[in-house]
Structure 1
Amino acid sequence: MDRLLTNVDSNYASVIVAAKRARQINSYYHNLGEGTFDEFPPPMVETASKNYLTIALEEVAAGKIKYSYR
């Protein structure tokens, strides 16, 4: 959790950012089978995990995800 907070302002923000990214990763793999994977970027970290939320949290911890408040 400490690694997440170095790249995100709060616990709440890390959860929201990771959840949105996990949905994007899920859509990427779903669309990959259909041949339409242009809309969402692939996972940006090397990982052995197949869990989309874990992949998203690793991306946040690595500083690969940029976000802004509206």
Structure 2
Amino acid sequence: MLYPSIDSLLTKIDSKYSLVSVAAKRARFMQESGEPSRIAKPVSHKYVGKALEEINTGDLSYKVVSDEIVER
């Protein structure tokens, strides 16, 4: 993948795991609901690429709700 670069994406989201999780959830949502990308003319034709472009432009982000670890 050439665009957006992993370095530029990691400035928006703090870890690779979070980046993959956010992009996958958004891509799945776009695919299932048929909602178009939030970007006017995305470079990528695939859902994951569009989600990564949304993260890069700042149109898509995430918020940590809780840092608690629950033991059972």
Q: TM-score, normalised by structure 1?
A: 0.73
For structure 1, which runs of at least 5 residues remain unmatched after alignment?
A: 30-40
Distance in 2, Cα, partners of 1:58 & 1:10? 17
| Count of residues in correspondence between the two structures | 59
- Identify the structure with the greater helix proportion: 1
Q: Which amino acid aligns with 2:26?
A: R
Which amino acid in the other structure matches residue 43 of structure 1?
S
5+ residue gaps, structure 2, are 1-5, 66-72
Question: What is the aligned counterpart of 2:16 among 8, 11, 22?
Answer: 11
- 4+ residue runs over 4 A deviation: none
What displacement does 1:26 show?
0.4
Higher RCO, Cα 8 Å, sep 6+: 1
- The CA distance in 2 between the partners of 1:15 and 1:59, in whole Å, is 13
CA positional deviation for 1:69: 1.9
Q: TM-score, normalising length from structure 2?
A: 0.71
**Please, what is the CA RMSD of the aligned residues?**
1.4
